[in-house]
Amino acid sequence: MTDQQAFAARIEGADAPSRYVLVCEHASHTLPARWGNLGLDAAAQVAHIAWDPGALGLARGLAARLGAALVHAPVSRLVHDLNRAPDRPGAMPARSESYDIPGNAAITPEDRAARADAVYTPFHAGLAALIARRIALGLQPVLVTVHSFTPVWHGQPRAVELGVIHDDTRPGDDRLAREVLAAAWAMTSLQSELNAPYSAADGVTHLLRLHAVPYGLPHVMLEIRNDLIATPEAEAAMADLLAPVLARALAATEGGA
């Protein structure tokens, strides 16, 4: 099996009717054999540093409820964070939160390029092809990336439960995000905030800048506190809550999905 096959974007519902395209870059904690365990113990390999717990289950639930396509990654972000450009330190971090990642500590430029070729390139090529195909069919895609975050960061509790994030490259990039936030305030009791716990200034909108901004596509990044989606039942309940929010937000911006 080639890298293009092994590490390609996983696409579900490529022909789904909704304009929404959901993306989960941090869906998996899988460490492929060629990179070993990166020097991490078993607990670290499934900790939040390796993936976004609950995000894939939530994304699947949203896709089902919205009739949307879903694109997700098959490899741990510790091998290559698909929401970071290959030349950024955070793409293959030597340290994440309180964890050292020995397998990334002395990575050579050649190794970095090889990882990007194996993991980053096929994922983004698959997503780009899906978007191009939908544009060719006359469907203006609406890109939503789905992430989760920890309730505590470096010892500090986080009150926010739903973060609604947008890129800031062009005027108007915030329109869908602001409608999502307004809908979340109106339709849920979640503590929802704009550009929290992260913002574009933290470098978290790389994927949106690649696949949405150049084409003028509406976009938003959702960050859900992971204690709220810690079980399959909780993921489903959150999908029930947020699917109408997304539907209302798009209707408010452009007249429907």
What does the pLDDT look like over 108-167, one tens digit per residue? 999 999 999 999 999 999 999 999 999 999 989 999 999 999 999 878 899 999 999 999
Distance CA 171, CA 175 (A): 9
What's the pLDDT band for 99 if we cut at 50, 70, 90?
confident
Measured in whole angstroms, how far is the alpha carbon of residue 98 from the centre of its chain? 22
CATH class of 3-254: alpha beta
Residue 59 has pLDDT above 70, yes or no: yes
CA distance 125 to 84: 15
What is the pLDDT at residue 106? 87
Confidence class of residue 3 from pLDDT cuts 50, 70 and 90?
Answer: low
pLDDT, tens only, 5-42: 788 999 999 999 999 999 999 999 999 999 999 999 99
pLDDT at 255 over 90: no
| Average pLDDT over the chain, rounded to an integer | 94
Residue 2 in this model has a pLDDT that exceeds 70: no
Residue 212, both tokens: 């949405």
Q: Is the pLDDT of residue 256 over 60?
A: no
CB count in 10 Å sphere of residue 98: 10
- If one compares 3 and 238, the residue with the highest pLDDT of the two is 238
In whole angstroms, what is the distance from residue 68 CA to residue 97 CA?
A: 33
SS3 of the chain: helix, strand, coil, percent, to 5? 45, 15, 40
